[in-house]
Amino acid sequence: MTAYLSLVLVLWTSLMVGFKGAPDTVPDPDIQAAVKQRLAMDGRIEPGGVEVRVEDGTVTLSGIVETLQEKLLADNLVVSTQGVKAVRNTIRVKPTPTKDDAIERAVEETLKTVPALKNKPLHVSVSQGVVTLKGSVEKQVHSLAAEKAAQTVPGVADVVNLIKVVGAPRPDREIERDLVFYLQSSSLVNLDDVDYRVTDGTVTLKGHIDNLSHKYAIASDVEKIHGVRSVDARGLTVKSSKGT
């Protein structure tokens, strides 16, 4: 888990590779060049195995990589590149000779190393490298921790997270109060640009942000608010300078 946290820290603190200015002012060829440069400079992904196409600011990644972590890493590197409005990650993970039962045991052992998941009734099954997680936890962040931990295991091609969050519900009005405080104090979002709704612990966000990577950072922060069961940030889109 320590290795995974270090990976996340590197992703979010690394310097931006791209171009200054509003996202829609960056030509597609320049975005493509910046993405390829970023993948090559990182060193943790074989850049020759990843193909990059860009159309109207939407980056499509394809090709084959050795591990699921490489696929997820490529996605994270691209979303923080200036000018990118959306990402379609169609990269496939190269099949490994590791048997499913061996992967299953490795995932189970990895989950045991996560303090928040100790004594949690989680069930792991594996079919052709695809891990399915079932069980129940008290907080959404615990479900995500299990998913992220499983993704780090060698041989895992994908993770299907069916873990249920069954903790005692917190009133929506209390969650909304903490949500507003976060949105007001966050440097990643302008409260005037974002609409929000809290329904049965689910937070829905819509509006405009300056950079695609901010969507994932905001969603991650909101998921940590006590009582939040899930976050729907699909309605957050990168700002356009047209008409300004």
Question: pTM for this one?
Answer: 0.60
- Residue 206 contacts residue 235 (beta carbons within 8 Å): yes
Q: Quote the pLDDT of residue 3.
A: 46
- Residue 163's pLDDT is 92
pLDDT attached to residue 24: 56
Task: Supply the pLDDT for residue 25.
Answer: 74
* Dihedral, 28, 234, 147, 114 alpha carbons, nearest 10: 100
Vertex 97 angle, CA 130 and 68, to 5°: 45
Q: Which residues are paired to 159 by β-bridges?
A: 131
* CB contact at 8 A, 99 and 105: no
| CA 67 from centre of chain | 16
pLDDT recorded at residue 13: 39
How are beta strands 164-165 and 130-137 bridged, if at all? parallel
Positive/negative CA dihedral, 150, 155, 159, 160: negative
pLDDT per residue rounded down to tens, the chain (244 residues): 444 444 433 443 343 344 334 545 789 999 999 999 988 888 888 767 899 999 999 999 999 888 888 898 998 889 888 899 999 999 998 877 779 999 999 999 999 999 989 888 899 999 989 999 999 888 888 898 999 999 999 999 999 999 988 877 889 999 999 999 999 999 998 889 999 999 998 999 999 998 898 998 999 899 888 888 889 999 999 887 554 3
pLDDT for residue 176: 95
For residues 178, 179, 181, 184, the Cα torsion angle rounded to the nearest 10 degrees is 180
